Structures are given as C-alpha cells and as structure tokens.
Structure 1
C-alpha cells in the first residue's frame, strides 16, 4: 500500500515524464547517428547531367541594340557595355585586357556568338 502511494506521489510530480526524457533522447541520438552514416556513405555519382538551354542565349544575342566601347590605353583595358532589347537582360558589361580594335572586335564576336561584321556594325567607340 505504501508503494502504491509513493508511485502516485511520483506520478503527480511528473517523474514518469522526466524519467522517460533521457530514454527518448538516447533513441533520437542513436537514430540520427544511423541516418548520418547512411547519408555520408552514400555515393554521389550521378548520371544525370544539367543541360543548359542555349537557344535562349542565342535569341538574346540576336537582340543586341548597341555596343559601347571605352578603350583605356593607360590601363591597357577596354570596357564594353552591350545594350539589348531583351525583356530580362537589358545590359551586359565586359572588361577585356585588349586595346587594339581588331582584337577587341574578334573577342567580342566570340563572346557574343555573333559574326565579326555584325559586331563591327554595332560598335560605337
């Protein structure tokens, strides 16, 4: 009878709850260790590749409105601003370590994916 009263007193104080917390913590600790080992030992080799949509880039380059070039001979750098009429991308800025015009036109045509004659028409120095 005395043990039953002691058990009721312990139950009213919440000892059943407090004594179960370390057991719950131990279960979570061991479970998270198991999950961590499974995740860290997983192979990350993936056969799926990210394919970029290059059509959008080509369409954007066809919408070039103007190319403004500032050649800084003293710094040995050319600053290029490309303005487009694309709805998302209005301007692109480039910096080339080139000061000669023909080399700059060639580098721009390669970067923008346009023929050199078209770049030459759009350039303003």
Structure 2
C-alpha cells in the first residue's frame, strides 16, 4: 500500500512527534500561570508580629563571681563588667549613664536581681 506524498513528508520529518509539543507547552504554561495566580493571591496573615525595637527583660539565675565598675566622670557614665561562675555565660557587660556609687549599686542590683548589700560586697570600682 502506498502512502500519499504529504504522509511521506509527515513521517520523514517526525511531525507526528513535533506537532503536539507546542500544544503541550501552551497547556503547561497556562496551567502553571493559573496555579501561580491562585497561590500568590491568597491572603497572607501573620500570627504574631516581631517587635525588635523594644528591650526585653530577661531573668537569669547565675552565680556572680566579681563585679568591676569603671566610673568615667568626664563622660558621665559607668561601664560594668560582671564575671560569673556559670559555664555558658561567663561575662556580662552593662553601661549606665550615672557616676554616683549608690545609683550604680542600685542599677546593678536591679539588672542582676541581687540585693544591694550583695552587690556592695562584690563590686570593685575604678575611677577614671
């Protein structure tokens, strides 16, 4: 049986394979864009918002070994370094805009959750 001439050209160029490819490409393109539009148009709600502009109060239970307070009268501030016995947190540093001994001790006691008497026993001052 003899094939018509158009059919021979069709078979020789593999057109039965190549012709459906653009149709499949268009179907995948349209389907993908529909799915993309559905996914991207869904409302996005957050459960909780991140507030990074506020300072959080953290209560730590640690054993204080030594407190060094460097009072810089010319700058009007006190730098405090707290050394601990804890293996994970060995050193804490604070800076207070005060230079009076009583106020420094009170501020340290509030930050560390200690009594003022305990802070007075542990603190070592250096005045610059």
Shift of 1:45: 4.2
Shift of 1:37: 2.1
The aligned length equals 111
Q: Which has the higher helix share?
A: 1
Q: TM-score, normalised by structure 1?
A: 0.73
Residue of structure 2 equivalent to 1:113: 113
Residue of structure 2 equivalent to 1:35: 39
Shift of 1:43: 3.8
Residue of structure 2 equivalent to 1:9: 14
Secondary structure of the corresponding residue to residue 87 of structure 1: coil
In structure 1, the gaps of 5 or more residues are: 47-53
Match of 1:58 among 60, 63, 85: 60
Residue of structure 2 equivalent to 1:81: 81
Residue of structure 1 equivalent to 2:27: 23
Deviations 1:19-38 (A, max 9, x none): 42343233222212211222
In structure 2, the gaps of 5 or more residues are: 49-57
Larger radius of gyration: 2
Residue of structure 1 equivalent to 2:124: 124
CA-based RMSD of the aligned residues comes to 2.5
Deviations 1:61-86 (A, max 9, x none): xx111110100000011000011111
